[in-house]
Amino acid sequence: MNILITGADRGLGYGMTEELLRRGHTVFAGQYLNKWNELETLQQQYPERLHLISLDIGSQDSVDEAKRRIMQTTDRLDAIINNAGVNGRSPDDEPFKQNYETMLEVYNINAIGAIRVTEAFHDMLEKGSGKRLMFISSEAGSVTESGRTDFYSYCMSKAALNMYVKILFNRLRPDGYRFRLYHPGWIKSYMGGQLSDRGELTIAEAGERAVDYFFDQQVDEEQLVLRGYNGRILSF
Ligand SMILES: NC(=O)c1ccc[n+]([C@@H]2O[C@H](COP(=O)([O-])OP(=O)(O)OC[C@H]3O[C@@H](n4cnc5c(N)ncnc54)[C@H](OP(=O)(O)O)[C@@H]3O)[C@@H](O)[C@H]2O)c1
């Protein structure tokens, strides 16, 4: 399959990229960071099937340019994994003093970023045979299950993402599209800016579980669920 994945430099995106390549897929890996060379190293191992594509999902120009680049190789995609995200947390977060600029930025990346990418590449998915749309959400986006008393912007952005996916599912499922809305677990990733030693899953473990669920497990395609890394279905 031809698969586009966003935020592939490090963290879960990198873990999924590695796993997809191991399973024989062709990956167009969205590269956001300049000074991070894990993808380049991986490319030496998979020079034919790993394509590095500069991509900032917060910018329409960047998404358009990424599409132009991918079109030089193929006009069809089988799957998109909307993975890139930011947590927007800053050390000086105060409960009643939200930084609205940061909130908008988090929303622009976590919610609108996935929309920007999905809309831009929809015609390439139409030409492909997979018609698969995957979205990395979070338990943090579940309104029903939330017990938090802070972390507004991240949780709100993921709740908004969930609603987008629900509406898109209603629209595209009749055309044969397959959807995955996924909470990947608490990962030892780079969300805090550096590799965390706290979390339940390593990047490789999280990548493998996600790819299993996205491509190898039988699911009822007529139901959109927010599915956790451990198989639990979360309310959203
Ligand atoms: N970590 C967890 O426990 C956890 C739990 C639930 C859900 N998730 C979700 O899992 C996904 C992956 O997160 P992760 O934990 O792997 O975090 P991560 O290690 O920070 O990886 C995310 C990647 O996306 C990149 N990125 C940031 N802004 C971007 C943009 N505008 N365009 C394209 N790429 C951008 C990041 O770059 P920078 O490093 O420069 O930001 C980073 O390379 C996110 O959607 C996150 O919300 C994570």
Mind listing the pLDDT tens digit for each residue in 73-103?
Answer: 999 999 999 999 999 987 667 778 889 999 9
Q: Probe ligand 1: pick from 18, 54, 86, max atoms within 8 Å of CB?
A: 86
User: What stretches of the chain adopt beta strand conformation (E)?
Assistant: 2-5, 26-31, 50-54, 79-82, 132-136, 178-183, 226-228, 233-234
Angle at 207 between CA 135 and CA 121, to 5 degrees: 35
CATH of the domain at 11: 3.40.50.720
What domain count does the chain have?
A: 1
Beta-carbon contacts of 68 under 8 Å, excluding residues fewer than 6 positions away, are none
Residue 224 belongs to domain spanning: 2-234
Three-state secondary-structure class, residue 114: helix
C-beta separation of 226 from 233 below 8 A = yes
Pick the atom of ligand 1 nearest to 36's CA.
43
Q: Residue 110 burial by CB count (10 A; 0-12/13-18/19+): exposed, middle or buried?
A: buried
Q: Convert the pLDDT of each residue in 113-143 to its tens digit.
A: 999 999 999 999 999 999 999 999 999 999 9
Angle at 101 between CA 66 and CA 167, to 5 degrees: 60
Q: Considering only CA atoms, which residue is closest to atom 40 of ligand 1?
A: 33
Looking up tokens 């959109």, which residue turns up?
224
Q: Considering only CA atoms, which residue is closest to atom 47 of ligand 1?
A: 85
Pick the atom of ligand 1 nearest to 186's CA.
3
Q: Convert the pLDDT of each residue in 142-191 to its tens digit.
A: 999 999 999 999 999 999 999 999 999 999 999 999 999 999 999 999 99
Q: Considering only CA atoms, which residue is closest to atom 44 of ligand 1?
A: 85
